[in-house]
């Protein structure tokens, strides 16, 4: 099994643009890192685990590139202004920034639970730096005849003027025109497919508005990503990712806007992951068939188990989420844990460092499987095959310390990609325990001010006190501050 991976040399990725597996050729890696842009969450509610399937696939990509020696510069945007966030804030009658803040914090907490490596930057669309850039880009597009202001005062991209529009999605625009199904409320637009770059303010937007040369309003979702990606990573990006639902219109629009402004090829490799499904249907907020990370934790599963469950299937294959799958994840991780414990026990034996010739050593099959368009299923296949084979050696009492150490070194290396080691036992530093005790004392005296100060001090040390029914408990700090 997996023998063919011994001969595959270069990293190859499926590019949605060409619909082909292509050899990954980084541009100028000696001087600069690989630039990766990944579309992040729209913070109008807590992200569901379908969204996290996409983020785990992007995490896998980044970690594998790093395993292969590349430096990665990754940006993940946060959409904190759009129709859904505005509607959500209005419904609960709180300012937009306050409404989205809670979901931003929850998002970072969930990233940590799932051990997803943080991107280098998480730009927010409402940041004035990026709003300015969006307005500049729209101005350029209008000046080039690629955009126009319509009677409703909104600004639209003129897709007929961008001949490559539809290339990413392999979409034939003439089909759109021939249907003749132009809705009444879209008469302002020249073409049904023209999309909004700038949405003119209306009453429902409340105080969510920015000034622009076209009147007050707010950006469209697509221009947010074009502005943030080019502002932070430059005109050309190596890899741009998202879920398959992002291909059209979002990524198609990003290409049109970015290339319309820069005149350069925007993205070299487009990667999209298949959906997480529930009973064969896409997990989605709108369908109500979703689970959040806390929904899974509350059933007694750990973040590590969920990470494994979302990671284990090739990113281009739809993955059905089931509780059975979560149990399988638990069993697979237990096998890894037991195997590591066995290896460590033998590796600790200082004597007989010489290895036995008949004990199999790790090969490069894991990395080569990932070189093959991130074939994680094959990579896990090799891991579990290795576990089976080395367990046989253990059972025959033939594992020697040098071989066990070699396998542990290998695990350490592949675990930089998997990040599936069991949580180390949590040791609370004595000064934190001391502060928590002091806090309990002052609370008994009802000295709330001092109690709050102590809580702050504990937070600064990276811990937090959670007041539970069983009394105060210390936990690692989860907020992103």
Q: Kindly list the residues in this chain that would bind Zn ion in the complex (CB under 5 A).
A: 39, 225
Residue 225 contact among ligand AMP, Zn ion, none, beta carbon within 5 to 8 Å by kind: Zn ion
Report the distance separating Cα 11 and Cα 23, nearest Å: 6
Residue nearest ligand AMP, Cβ-based: 243
Residue 54 contact among Zn ion, ligand AMP, none, beta carbon within 5 to 8 Å by kind: ligand AMP
Phi, psi at residue 476, to the nearest 5°?
A: -60, 140
Mapped onto helix, strand or coil, the DSSP state of residue 319 is strand
Q: Does 123 bind ligand AMP (CB under 6 A)?
A: no
C-beta closer to ligand AMP: residue 57 or 463? 57
Q: Write the binding mask 200 to 239 for ligand AMP: x where contact by CB under 6 A, - elsewhere.
A: ----------------------------------------
Q: Which residues pair with 37 in a beta bridge?
A: 75, 240
Report the distance separating Cα 467 and Cα 436, nearest Å: 11
Cβ 434 to ligand AMP shortest distance, Å: 43
Task: Give the total of residues touching ligand AMP (CB under 6 A).
Answer: 17
Q: Does 275 bind ligand AMP (CB under 6 A)?
A: yes
C-beta closer to ligand AMP: residue 37 or 266? 37
Q: Does 100 bind ligand AMP (CB under 6 A)?
A: no
Report the distance separating Cα 298 and Cα 333, nearest Å: 19
Sheet holding 281-282, edge to edge: 281-282, 276-278, 319-320
C-beta closer to ligand AMP: residue 221 or 407? 221
Cβ 44 to ligand AMP shortest distance, Å: 8
Q: Does 51 bind ligand AMP (CB under 6 A)?
A: yes
Q: Does 242 bind ligand AMP (CB under 6 A)?
A: yes
In DSSP notation, 368-435 reads HHHHBTS-HHHHHHHHHHHHHHHHHHHHTT---HHHHHHHHHHHHHHHHHH--PPPPPP---HHHHHH
Distance, C-alpha 125 to centroid of its chain: 17
Report the distance separating Cα 235 and Cα 255, nearest Å: 11
Q: Does 246 bind ligand AMP (CB under 6 A)?
A: yes
350, with CB counted inside 10 A (0-12, 13-18, 19+), is exposed
Residue 243 contact among Zn ion, ligand AMP, none, beta carbon within 5 to 8 Å by kind: ligand AMP
Whether 76 contacts 40, CB under 8 Å: yes
C-beta closer to ligand AMP: residue 51 or 375? 51
C-beta closer to Zn ion: residue 39 or 135? 39
Report the distance separating Cα 466 and Cα 137, nearest Å: 47
Cβ 271 to ligand AMP shortest distance, Å: 11
Q: Does 85 bind ligand AMP (CB under 6 A)?
A: no
Tokens linked to 35: 């630039």
Q: Does 390 bind ligand AMP (CB under 6 A)?
A: no
Residues 123, 219, 220, 243: which binds ligand AMP (CB under 6 A)?
243
Cβ 461 to ligand AMP shortest distance, Å: 34
CA distances from 187 to 183, 196, 418 (A): 7, 13, 51
Q: Does 88 bind ligand AMP (CB under 6 A)?
A: no
CA distances from 398 to 363, 392, 393 (A): 20, 9, 5
Report the distance separating Cα 266 and Cα 253, nearest Å: 11
Residues 276, 387, 393, 435: which binds ligand AMP (CB under 6 A)?
276
Residues 11, 34, 39, 131: which binds ligand AMP (CB under 6 A)?
39
* Region binding ligand AMP by CB under 6 A among candidate stretches 65-73, 129-137, 187-195, 270-278: 270-278
Residue 401 contact among ligand AMP, Zn ion, none, beta carbon within 5 to 8 Å by kind: none
Q: Does 376 bind ligand AMP (CB under 6 A)?
A: no
Q: Work out the widest C-alpha separation in the chain, in whole angstroms.
A: 84
Phi, psi at residue 21, to the nearest 5°?
A: -75, 125
* Region binding ligand AMP by CB under 6 A among candidate stretches 36-44, 176-184, 440-448, 456-464: 36-44
Where along the sequence are the contacts to ligand AMP (CB under 6 A)? Answer: 39, 41-42, 50-51, 53-54, 242-243, 245-246, 273, 275-276, 282-284
């Amino acid at each position: 099994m997996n023998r063919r991976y011994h001969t595959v040399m270069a990293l190859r990725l499926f590019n949605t643009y060409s619909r082909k597996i292509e050899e990954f050729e980084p541009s100028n890696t000696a001087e600069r890192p690989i630039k990766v842009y990944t579309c992040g969450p729209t913070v109008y509610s807590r992200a569901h685990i379908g969204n996290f399937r996409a983020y785990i696939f992007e995490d896998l990509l980044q970690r594998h590139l790093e395993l292969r020696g590349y430096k990665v510069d990754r940006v993940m945007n946060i959409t904190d202004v759009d129709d859904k966030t505005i509607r959500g804030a209005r419904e609960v009658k709180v300012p937009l920034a306050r409404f989205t803040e809670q979901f931003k914090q929850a998002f970072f907490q969930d990233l940590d639970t799932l051990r997803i490596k943080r991107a280098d930057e998480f730009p927010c669309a409402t940041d004035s730096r990026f709003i300015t850039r969006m307005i500049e880009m729209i101005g350029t597009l209008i000046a080039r005849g690629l955009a126009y202001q319509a009677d409703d005062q909104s600004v639209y991209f003129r897709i007929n003027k961008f001949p490559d529009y539809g290339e990413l999605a392999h979409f034939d625009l003439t089909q759109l025109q021939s249907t003749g199904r132009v809705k009444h409320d879209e008469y302002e637009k020249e073409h049904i497919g023209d999309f909004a770059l700038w949405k003119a303010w209306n009453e429902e937007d409340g105080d969510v508005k920015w000034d622009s040369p076209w009147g007050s309003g707010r950006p469209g979702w697509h221009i947010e990503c074009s502005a943030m990606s080019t502002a932070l990573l430059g005109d050309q990006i190596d890899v741009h990712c998202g879920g398959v639902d992002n291909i059209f219109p979002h990524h198609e629009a990003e290409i049109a806007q970015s290339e319309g402004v820069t005149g350069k090829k925007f993205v070299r490799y487009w990667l999209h992951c298949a959906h997480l499904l529930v009973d064969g249907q896409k997990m989605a907020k709108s369908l109500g068939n979703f689970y959040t990370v806390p929904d899974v934790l509350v059933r007694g599963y750990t973040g590590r188990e969920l990470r494994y469950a979302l990671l284990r299937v090739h990113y281009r294959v739809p993955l059905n989420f089931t509780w059975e799958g979560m149990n399988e994840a638990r069993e697979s991780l237990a096998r890894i844990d037991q195997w590591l414990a066995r290896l460590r026990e033998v590796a600790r034996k200082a004597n007989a460092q010489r290895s036995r010739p008949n004990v199999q050593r790790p090969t490069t099959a894991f990395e080569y499987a990932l070189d093959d368009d991130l074939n994680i299923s094959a990579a896990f296949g090799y891991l579990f095959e290795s576990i089976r084979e080395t367990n046989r050696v253990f059972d025959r009492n033939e594992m020697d310390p040098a071989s066990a150490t070699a396998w542990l070194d290998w695990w350490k290396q592949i675990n930089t990609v998997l990040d599936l080691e069991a949580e180390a036992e949590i040791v609370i530093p004595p000064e934190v325990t001391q502060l928590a005790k002091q806090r309990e004392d002052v609370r008994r005296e009802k000295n709330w001010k001092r109690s709050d100060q102590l809580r702050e001090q504990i937070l600064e040390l990276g811990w937090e006190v959670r007041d539970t029914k069983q009394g105060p408990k210390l936990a690692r700090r989860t907020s992103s501050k």
